[in-house]
A and B are shown apart, each in its own frame.
Chain A
């Protein structure tokens, strides 16, 4: 039973064309994270939500935005994708911050920019 679900598995977009990646969870976790992982590199945290509180990483470009309309869903919006934004985007959840919980990852969305 999938607990963190990302759609689509593969996404192709055009240079400069806005794209939205989605993530849903059935764990009722309070925290949802978005990571970007480029080929052969470590996953890099873009931002996370603790409930409705949005926490942006200092070096996340303005081109990346996120929405969390409810506990279950979280979206990653890339306003004007560039070639350098081609990557695997990983959504993850955890029960609470302040506790050392292991993160539950979705299967990822592989984004290609043409």
Chain B
């Protein structure tokens, strides 16, 4: 099976930085995704990490440590529109099935 843990909720101020941690336990790991999901909408792809290290994409960065079973999503220069749930998801080599964590709801305050 797979266990994917992330905090339930985080609050941050507009313009600040927030780091969302995700830990996972899985066999046959083949990559980790971060998705953003606004209330009542479908998840949208943010990032994909399969090798250790940091991937930077504009205001969003994602980090992976395979040996530690750990990832984080870093959101910089927070904007009000960044208020959403952020889902960590792990994919296994067999079957290409994506398993999601429970999501972290980020609330950005003025």
Residues of chain A touching chain B, judged by Cβ–Cβ distance below 8 Å, are 31, 40-45, 48, 55, 88, 90, 94, 96-103, 105-108, 110
A90 touches B31 (CB 8 A): no
Count of B interface residues, CB-CB < 8 Å: 25
- Additional A-B contact list (17), CB under 8 Å, known A42-B103, A44-B100: A31-B96, A45-B98, A45-B99, A96-B96, A97-B95, A99-B96, A100-B31, A100-B48, A100-B50, A100-B91, A102-B33, A102-B45, A103-B45, A105-B43, A105-B44, A107-B41, A110-B40
A contact face: mostly helix, strand, loop, or mixed = loop
A-B contact count (CB 8 A): 52
**Closest chain A residue to B9, Cβ basis:** A40
- Is B23 positioned at the interface, with any CB of A under 8 Å from its CB? no
**Closest chain A residue to B47, Cβ basis:** A102
Q: Quick one: which of B26-74 are within 8 Å of A by CB?
A: 30-31, 33, 40-45, 48, 50
